[in-house]
Every structure is written in structure tokens, then in C-alpha cells.
Amino acid sequence: MEGEATQAIDQQQEKIKRPLALRQPEVFETPDAEDSGPIVVVVEERDNANIDRTGVTPNKAFARFYDKGFDSAQDFSSTVRRASKQKEFEASKEDLKSLQETPLQRFQRLQSEVRELSEELSAAAEKRTPLEQDIPALEIADEVQQLQVQLEDLIAKEEHRPFLNPNYENEQSSILQANLSKKLISHLEAVGAKDKRKQEDASSDDKGQITYELYYTPALAESAKEGSELSVLSEMDRRMAQLEKLLGANTFMGNLPANDMLSLVESMNDKLSLLNQVELDKVDRKLKMLSLELDDIARSEEKTGLPAHQEKKVNEVYEMMARADATIQQMPAIIARLQSLRPLHEESLTFSQTLRHLHNQQSQIVHMLSSHNAHLIKVEDGLAENMATIQKNVDALNARIEKVAEKLSSA
């Protein structure tokens, strides 16, 4: 009992010894939640046509399904039908023939796809920086160029032109017309030569006959031009050729492949026929390929180029060397002169060193003299004070001697 009492007393003393804050009950509080942001209010969409807002009246639903039951043992498998398989529709051969591409359509499609791919690659290469450009992109561009070359080779072959050139019939018709016009001109020239020979033979055989000369006015000439324009042109060409022979070779016609106007027109027509759409497309593709190659060369030059600060330093060194070019020729004479003046320079160097040493010694002597002068002044002052003190002592001694002498004389 005594032990329990002492234990209770000890516990009571420990409670008393505790601070007031520890004797109170512990309370834990959480801080109020802070507003993390604005309150989001969800507004219900009222005008959306895709949402079915048909309402169901609870009373009607209750009346409809009131006193109804569901039998879980009932089998509903008979009402479930198997879905029919999807049917496949086959097209007839005539439809497939109409859907197949002709060689010309396929060639034009491939040509346009290759052109679009080349444009996309060039646009992507322009947008990307030189560091982002990789080898596969360049390889794809090279393959596209090879495809363009293959397409050009296809259309360049003579046996493929009827199928791949849309203007082949027009070109063939123009060529046929040109050939027919050439044949017609040659036939007219042959007929004109025969008539001329017949006239010459008739004039040589029938000298005794009467010859009639007919003259026609310019009005008749204009009507003749309107009636037979081709013959007039050939006659004009012949007369111009005769005038050129009489006057000599013309400088303008001498540079041309033909000497008559018809041949000149034919040659010009042949040259103009080269400016059709196919040839222009070829030139356009070649120019695009060249532009891509030039871009690659420019990129390679940019990669191998020096940085800006190094290039600036190189330019500065180049300018310095350009300024020094004028004095390079005088450098041997300058070097010889400097070598001859070398002993004098060495002597001047030693002289300057000696002069500097003398200056230092002079400054030291001046400092010493000034210090000695100060000491002498102090000594003179001390001697003057000592002389004054000695004089006082002597005067005092004389006075005492006189006093002693007076005392002795009085005694």
C-alpha cells in the first residue's frame, strides 16, 4: 500500500512539474483550402440538335409497365437472327477496261507525281536548317532526279512518242503539211523551169513569127496577187535571189542556213516547233535539277566555310599583308642599315644604363648631404647652448671668487 501511494504521489508531482502547454489537450487543425483558380461553371447546351431531349413522364411509364413480369427461364433465341454475310460485287470486264489507265494517262500521272514530290522535297529542304538535313533526304532527291531522267528517256524514244505525246497527231499533221508544201513548191518550180525552156525553144525555132508583148497595170498585179499568192511569192523569191547574186553575198543571209526565203521560213518553223509544251517541260525539269544541284553545292560550301570571327581575322591579315607589299622590296636595305647601327645602339644602351646609375648615385649623395647639413645645424645649436652655459658658469664663478676675495680682505 505504501508503494502504491508513493507511486501515485510521484505521478502527481510529474504532472505538476510539466509545463502548462503540455498539460493541455492536443488539437490538430488543417488550414483552409485556397482558391486554386476561377470557378468553372458548366453550362448545359440547350440548342444542340445532336442531343435527344425527349422526356419520359413517370406516371405514363408506371402505367405502361405496371403489373408486368419477366420470366428469366424464357428462351429468346428463336427471335435472334444471324446476320447475312456481306456480298461482294464484281465489276464486268467492260467496266474494268474503262477504269484502266492508258499509257499517256499513266505517264502524265507519274510525271505530275514526280514533279510534286520534287517540289515537296525542295520546300522541306528550304525550311530545315543545315544541321537538320540528313543523308536520306539527299538520297531521295537523287532518286527523284533519276526518275525524271527515266521519264524523259521514255518520251525521247521514237517508238514511245505516239503513246506518250498528246500532241503527236498534231505534230505529225504539221510535218505532213510541211512536206506537202515542200513538194508543191518543188513541183511549181519544176513547172516554171519547163515553161521557161519551152519559151526559149519557141523563140529559137520561130524567129520569123510575130511576137506579141502584153503589159498589165498595177491593179491587175494586185488581182494576180490575190489569185495566186504562192506563185507571186515564189517569183519574188527568185527575183530577190537574182538581185543577191548580182549585188553579192548579203551579210544577213550569209549567217543563215538557207539562201532563199522559203527555206528560211521552213528553218524558222522547225525551230519554233521545238518550243512546244513537251520541250518546255524538259527544259523546266532540267532547270529544277540544276537548281537543286546548285543548292547542294551552296550548302556544302556553307558547311565547309570558316566561322565569322575566323573569316574576319583572315580578312584583317590579308589587308595587313596588302599594306606590307609596298615595303617588302625595301626590307633588305632596312635590315642592312639596322645591322650597321647595331653597335651604336648597344653603346647607347650601355650609356643610358651608366647615366641612370650616375643619377641614382647623385640622388643618394644629395640625400646624404642634406642629412649631414641637418646634423651640422644641430651640432652648431648645441655648441652655442653649451658656450652660453659655460659663460654663465664662469660669470657665476667669478662672482663667487670676488665675494670670497672681499670677505678675505675684510677679515
Domains in the chain: boundaries? 103-126+135-168, 216-247
> Measuring CA to CA, how many Å separate 214 from each of 210, 211, 217, 232?
13, 10, 10, 18
Name the one residue in this structure whose C-alpha cell is 644629395. Answer: 366
**Burial of 188 per CB tally in 10 Å (0-12, 13-18, 19+):** middle
Average pLDDT, the chain: 71
The arithmetic mean of pLDDT across residues 28-48, rounded, is 62
The residue assigned the cell 501511494 is 5
**Cell numbers found for residue 379:** 651640432
C-alpha span between 289 and 121 (Å, rounded)? 12
3-state secondary structure of 29: coil
Q: Which residue has the higher pLDDT, 363 or 267?
A: 363
Per-residue pLDDT reduced to its tens digit, 213-256: 555 555 545 555 555 566 667 777 777 777 777 765 454 444 55
Query: What tens digit of pLDDT does each residue of 172-181 get?
Result: 656 666 676 6
| pLDDT of 370 above 60 | yes
201 — phi, psi (to 5°)?
A: -65, -40
**Helices 261-273 & 229-247, crossing angle to 10 degrees?**
110
What is the Cα–Cα distance from 281 to 274, expressed in whole angstroms? 11
